[in-house]
Amino acid sequence: MKFWEALLLLFFLSEVLSQNKRNPKPNVRTPAQNRKGASSSGEAGRSLSAEEVPPVALPPVENVLVSQLRSPSQAPHPVLKSVDDMKLCFLRNTSVTCNDGTTAGYYLREAKGNKFWIIFLEGGWCCYNRETCDARYKNIRRLMSSSEWPQTKRGTGILSAHLDENPHWWNANTVFVPYCSSDVWSGTQPKGRHEYAFMGSLIIREVIKDLVPKGIKQAKVVMLAGTSAGGTGVLLNIDRVAALLEELEAEAVQVRGLVDSGWFLDVKPSRQADCVDATSCTPTDAIKKGLRLWNAILPEKCKQQFKKGDEWHCFFGHKLYSSLRSPLFVVQWLFDEEQLRIENIQLGIQTLMENQWNHIRNLGREMKNSLRDVAAVFAPACLSHTLITKSNWMDFQVKSVSLPRALHCWERRFQESAKTLKTPLRSCPFHLIDSCQWPHCNPTCPAVHDHTTGQEVNVKQTLLRMGLDLQKKAQELKVDPGNPMGMFRNGG
């Protein structure tokens, strides 16, 4: 009986193998390879047809069967590696390092044939002396060392490889540069005799150089993007990246910047004579201290506007913007939670005093004023921080226009005219600032959460916690006092 069972099993295997040879393997192609007619700028928004959807690559049938026959309990499950993931690459120049001396690097998802590149700088504030850097290394080591970085990373928002989440740039060449220099991407200081290295600006330079064999010199557009400290890093490095590509004989590449939540305001110095930790230092305090430690390199044209010792002004977008040559799109919540946190105002966990409420209102007004002359901007009147990498980034609107649409309009400006246009194309706006005057007056704002409990706080509760008299405000704005929530409208 055993003889016949073995004979039958061999016959079954031979049939499977011969069938596999007769049927050629499917031609597996990525979405970027399928779309031969895609725009070189990466702005293709159409859906894939059924014929263009790439089949999932499975292990050969015979390998799975043989492993199951050998030991059914140990048969491996098919491991499907996603083409959505960005793969970790370490810099070839190993002397350019993270804070702790480990080699810096980047994550890359290639799109062969596509000439649109997004290079994204991660955020994470900074450290500016031995104490703050030691605490940062102890508590958030991934922001100072590459030793525990995963081999792959999946992008979200504008870094997503999914058409429904990222309709215009889902198939762009995407580069994610982890933040491990703690210097707002400005430093040039090697480890040497110092406890830590601060080489953020040099990391950006080396990433660009490492991407040359990947085809970045043949790009049509390189968009340097970043959130929070990464957004400030875009402001500080955008012209330097453009100059480097020119040095590399890639003069045809158009370099643009996308700054998300990195447009900080230089508030009044803290009351303390010397701030002692990260929570008690304003952005101005921290930058002043860090400049020397990091051996920071700043845009030369901006530095020339200030006397020696006042170069710290160049870290703030409203003071740096006019001196930059490269085009920029600024994304900024009018009531940035990180700016408020740095100033020791945290929503949801405290009842705000009148002076704190006035400070929040003033922040919104000052932020609007600082963005008034920015050519391309998306500024919702919301309490939040960072936007472009949120998976729901398409949900937020200003004057009924979403951020992806505004960015796409900005892109069209460059495509449709080689001349500099001072006004947006008809029906395609990209200068969008909410006109209402208090936090969360835009109905598309993201939810606010209590920082201690994690529970969501709705808009009305948030404003009541701030001490805002909704009835009084409704009367001032001549809306129905019986329905004060009617004053929330898109675009103010």
pLDDT at 190 over 80: yes
Give the whole-angstrom CA distance, residue 257 versus residue 270. 31
Instruction: Retrieve residue 236's tokens.
Output: 């500080």
Cβ atoms within 10 Å of 348's Cβ, excluding its own? 18
Query: Which range is least confidently modeled, 129-138, 262-271, 318-327, 474-483?
Result: 474-483
Give the model's pLDDT for residue 461.
62
Give the model's pLDDT for residue 358.
79
Average pLDDT over residues 272-295: 77
List Cβ neighbours of 177 (8 Å cut-off, separation of 6 or more).
Answer: 106, 107, 119, 120, 121, 122, 203, 204, 207
Q: What is the share, in percent, of the chain residues with pLDDT greater than 70?
A: 68
Query: Which range is least confidently modeled, 179-183, 190-194, 209-213, 312-316?
Result: 190-194
Q: What is the share, in percent, of the chain residues with pLDDT greater than 90?
A: 57
Average pLDDT over residues 132-157: 96
Catalytic residue among 145, 228, 370, 384: 228
Average pLDDT over residues 17-42: 38
Residue 425's pLDDT band (cuts 50, 70, 90): low
Give the whole-angstrom CA distance, residue 278 versus residue 292. 17
Give the model's pLDDT for residue 278.
56
Give the model's pLDDT for residue 21.
43
Give the model's pLDDT for residue 70.
34
Query: Which range is least confidently modeled, 180-194, 197-211, 279-293?
Result: 279-293
Average pLDDT over residues 339-353: 71
Give the model's pLDDT for residue 272.
47
Q: Catalytic annotation on 336?
A: yes
φ, ψ of residue 484 to 5 degrees: the values are -60, -25
pLDDT single digits (tens) 388-411: 999 999 999 999 999 999 999 999
Give the whole-angstrom CA distance, residue 429 versus residue 443. 20
CA–chain centroid gap for 411, Å, is: 18
Query: Which range is least confidently modeled, 2-16, 124-138, 351-365?
Result: 2-16
The mean pLDDT of the chain is 79
Query: Which range is least confidently modeled, 65-74, 166-175, 412-421?
Result: 65-74
Give the model's pLDDT for residue 355.
75
pLDDT single digits (tens) 60-98: 333 332 333 233 333 343 333 456 799 999 999 999 999
Give the model's pLDDT for residue 460.
63
Query: Which range is least confidently modeled, 74-78, 174-178, 202-206, 268-272?
Result: 74-78
Cβ atoms within 10 Å of 426's Cβ, excluding its own? 6
Residue 352's pLDDT band (cuts 50, 70, 90): low
Stronger pLDDT, 345 or 278, i.e. the higher one: 345
CA–chain centroid gap for 87, Å, is: 17
Catalytic residue among 168, 318, 385, 440: 385
Catalytic residue among 285, 336, 370, 440: 336
Give the whole-angstrom CA distance, residue 220 versus residue 243. 15
Q: Catalytic annotation on 160?
A: no
Stronger pLDDT, 65 or 267, i.e. the higher one: 267
Q: Which amino acid is at 135?
A: A
pLDDT at 282 over 70: yes
pLDDT single digits (tens) 1-18: 445 555 455 554 454 444
Q: Catalytic annotation on 228?
A: yes
pLDDT single digits (tens) 38-52: 333 333 333 333 333
Highest-confidence segment of 3-7, 24-28, 106-110, 448-452: 106-110
Give the model's pLDDT for residue 448.
79
Average pLDDT over residues 310-323: 95
Give the whole-angstrom CA distance, residue 408 versus residue 403. 8
Stronger pLDDT, 122 or 251, i.e. the higher one: 122
